[in-house]
Amino acid sequence: MNEPIPATVVNPYASPQFASGPAMPQPQQGGFPGLWRQGNVLVMHKQAPLPPICLKSGLPATQWLRRNLQWHEPWIAITIVAGLLIYVIIALIMTKRASLMIGLTDEWAARRKTRIFIALGITLAAIALGIAGIVLGNQGRGYEGWFSLIALAGFVLIGAALYGQYACRLVWPQRITDQYVWLKGVHPSVLDQMPVWTFGIV
C-alpha cells in the first residue's frame, strides 16, 4: 500500500517543469498553473504540481500521498473474448500511466488507513472461511457444508477486492493522455478554484 508522505517533502509552490512536446495551454484566468476543471473533473498536466490542498475536503493539506494511476480505453476490455492473454498484451501496450502527489488532511489520511484495514479484515475472514471449509471437508462432515463455506469464502474475497479497489482509491482517472490527466473524486471546492478547461482532448 502507498503510505502518506509528510507534506514537507514536497514544495507545492515550486514552478512546474513541463516535459518537451506540444505546448501546454495556459489558463484563461487565475488559478494554478497546469490545472483546470471540466465539470466535476480536474484536468491537469502530468507534470503540474497539485496545490497544498486536500483533494477530498478542500482544506489545507497536511500530508502528501503518491498515486500511480493507470487507464486505457474501455473498448479494450472487449478483446478479452479473444482470450485473456490477448487482452493483457493489448492492455499493456495501450495503457496510459501517470504519477502524482495528492494532498490530504490528517482526517482523510486516517480514513484511508481505516478502509485499508477493513479490506484486510474482510480478506482474512474470507481466508478463515476457506480454511474452515477445507478442514470440515477433510473430516467428512458432509459435502454440502464444507463446499458452501468455500463458496462463501470466494464471494467474500471478491467483496474485499471490490471494497479495497473503490473505497481506498480516493481519486481515480477518467482519462489519461500523453500529456494530461482527467481526475475524478476531487472535492467541488477545489475544482471551483480552477479555470474552465476549453481545449478538448489533447
pTM greater than 0.85: no
Tens place of pLDDT for every residue, the chain, 202 residues? 555 544 444 443 343 343 333 444 444 445 588 999 999 999 999 989 999 999 999 999 999 999 999 998 889 889 888 888 988 899 899 999 999 999 999 999 999 999 999 999 999 988 888 888 777 777 665 556 667 778 888 888 888 888 888 888 899 999 999 999 999 999 999 999 999 998 877 6
Q: What is the pLDDT of residues 26-80, one digit of tens each?
A: 444 455 889 999 999 999 999 899 999 999 999 999 999 999 999 988 898 898 8
Cβ–Cβ under 8 Å, residues 142 and 150: no
Domain ranges for the chain? 5-191
Say what the pLDDT of residue 15 is: 37
Neighbours of 53 (CB within 10 A): 22
Extended strands (E) in the chain: 5-6, 35-38, 41-45, 63-71, 96-104, 172-176, 180-184
Q: Which residue stretches of 30-71 are H helix?
A: none
Under DSSP, the state recorded for 95 is -
Rounded CA-CA distance 53/59 in Å is 6
Q: Tell me how crowded residue 27 is: count the other CB atoms within 10 A of its CB.
A: 16
Can you read off the three cell numbers belonging to residue 102? 495528492
Residue 23 DSSP symbol: P
C-alpha cell at 64: 502528501
CA distance 201 to 78: 23
